[in-house]
Amino acid sequence: MASNAAMKPVRRRLLQATGAMLLIASRPLRAADVALPSIPSMAAWLAGRTPRFERIKLDLPSIADNGFAVPMKITVTGPFAPGPYVKSIRLFSETNPVPDMAAFEFLQPLERVEIDSRVRLAGTQQVVAIAEMTDGKLYASVHEVIVTLAGCMDGT
Amino acid sequence: MPDARISIPPKVNRNEPFEVRVQIRHPMETGYRTDDVGKSIPRNVIRAFTCRLDGDVVFSAQLSSGIAANPYLRYFAIAQSSGEMTFEWVDDAGVRGSERVAVTVA
Give the CA angle between residues A143, A128, A132 to the nearest 5°: 130
Closest C-alpha among B20, B24, B31, B18 to residue B5:
B24
Whether the per-residue pLDDT at B1 is higher than 50: the answer is no
Would you call A108 and B71 a contact, using CB atoms and an 8 Å cutoff? no
Report helix, strand or coil for B94. Answer: coil
Contact A90, B66 (CB under 8 A): no
**pLDDT score of A133:** 96
Q: List A147's β-bridge partners, or say none.
A: A64
Residues of A at the B interface, defined by Cβ within 8 angstroms: 68-70, 91, 93, 96-98, 100-121, 151-154
**pLDDT score of B57:** 97
**pLDDT score of A10:** 73
**pLDDT score of A155:** 46
**pLDDT score of A33:** 52
Mutation target to probe the B interface, by most B beta carbons within 10 A, among A58, A85, A105, A108 is A108
Domain that holds residue B28: 4-103
**pLDDT score of A31:** 45
Give the global pTM.
0.84
Contact B18, B78 (CB under 8 A): yes
Q: What is the CATH code for A40-147?
A: 2.60.40.2470
As for the ipTM of the complex, it is 0.94
pLDDT in tens, chain A (156 residues): 455 555 566 777 766 766 665 555 554 444 445 789 999 999 999 999 999 999 999 999 999 988 999 999 999 998 998 989 999 999 999 999 999 999 999 999 999 999 999 999 999 999 999 999 999 999 999 999 999 887 766 544
Whether the per-residue pLDDT at B15 is higher than 80: the answer is yes
Count of domains observed in chain B: 1
Closest C-alpha among A137, A46, A61, A50 to residue A99:
A46
- Chain B, nearest residue to A99 by Cα: B66
Domain ranges of chain A: 1-33, 40-147
Mean pLDDT over each residue of chain B, to the nearest integer: 94
Report the CATH number that the domain containing residue B66 is assigned in CATH.
2.60.40.10
- CB-nearest to B77 from A108, A116, A154 is A108
- CA-CA distances (angstroms) from residue A35 to A51, A136, B78, B85? 10, 20, 35, 40
8-state DSSP, A141:
E
Report helix, strand or coil for A91. Answer: strand
Q: Is B65 exposed, middle or buried, given 0-12, 13-18 or 19+ CB atoms closer than 10 A?
A: buried
Q: What percent of chain B lies above the pLDDT cut of 90?
A: 88
Q: What is the DSSP string of B18-72?
A: EEEEEEE----B-S--B-TTSPBPPPB-EEEEEEEETTEEEEEEE--TTB-SS-E
pLDDT tens for B67-89 read 999 999 999 999 999 999 999 99
